[in-house]
């Protein structure tokens, strides 16, 4: 197996892990909190679980109210994921493959919600830390993946260290 094929496998495996973890946790949260949309359960310190249905994009931006935008956002997630899958096959560094896997898994996890529910299930609430949005595992994976890509592009690539 070539090095690029191994990197692609890293990306695909990580994407699958993100989707599985995201969907399992969302299922548990919906089952536990569904009767009380908006109910907040303290978890630890500033961390709370608050069930929110998000018809917009990550962190609740661009709320759409459902309808045709649900399908546009789902299709966009699918197109992005396909592009990332192709990129993963050409990734020159393992760190890039990891970032791609995180972003791809997050996009697919939220796409599954849009198709199955009409909106994305958000539940991680750290508003006590003055972070105004409720989010989920998929959003977190996308954010971390983007940060890794930016950091690699800004710092690692410039210094030649990886």
Q: What's the pLDDT tens digit per position in 101-130?
A: 999 999 999 999 999 988 899 989 988 788
Say what the pLDDT of residue 111 is.
Answer: 94
The string over 136-146, giving b where at least 16 C-beta atoms fall within 10 Å of a residue's C-beta and e elsewhere, is bbbbbbbbbbe
- 139 is known as an active-site residue: yes
Q: Say if residues 12 and 105 touch (Cβ distance below 8 Å).
A: no
Q: Say if residues 135 and 29 touch (Cβ distance below 8 Å).
A: no
Catalytic residue among 22, 113, 122, 125: 122
Average pLDDT estimate for 7-22: 96
Q: Where are the alpha helices (DSSP H) in 34-133?
A: 68-90, 94-117
Pairing of strands 47-54, 40-44: antiparallel
pLDDT per residue over 37-70, tens digit each? 656 777 888 888 888 888 765 444 555 555 677 7
Helix (H) or strand (E) holding 146: helix 137-151
Measured N-to-C along each axis, helices 137-151 and 94-117 cross at an angle, to the nearest 10 degrees, of 150
Helix (H, G, I), strand (E, B) or coil at 57: coil
**pTM of the prediction?**
0.85
Strand partners, 124: 49, 135
For residue 96, what is the DSSP state? H
For residue 35, what is the DSSP state? G
- 22 is known as an active-site residue: no
pLDDT per residue over 135-154, tens digit each? 999 999 999 999 999 998 88
pLDDT per residue over 63-76, tens digit each? 555 567 778 888 99
């Amino acid at each position: 197996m070539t090095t690029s094929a191994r990197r692609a496998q890293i990306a695909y495996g990580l994407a699958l892990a993100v989707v599985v973890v995201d969907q399992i946790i969302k299922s548990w949260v919906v089952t536990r909190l569904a009767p009380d949309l908006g109910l907040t359960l303290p978890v630890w310190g500033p961390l709370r679980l608050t069930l929110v249905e998000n018809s917009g994009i990550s962190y609740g931006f661009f709320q759409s109210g459902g309808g045709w935008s649900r399908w546009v956002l789902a299709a966009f997630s699918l197109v992005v994921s396909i592009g990332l899958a192709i990129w993963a096959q050409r990734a020159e560094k393992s760190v890039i493959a990891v970032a791609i896997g995180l972003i791809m898994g997050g996009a697919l996890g939220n796409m599954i919600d849009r198709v199955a529910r009409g909106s994305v299930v958000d539940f991680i609430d750290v508003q006590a830390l003055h972070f105004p949005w409720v989010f989920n595992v998929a959003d977190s994976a996308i954010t971390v993946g983007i940060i890794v890509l930016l950091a690699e592009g800004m710092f690692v690539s410039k210094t030649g260290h990886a």
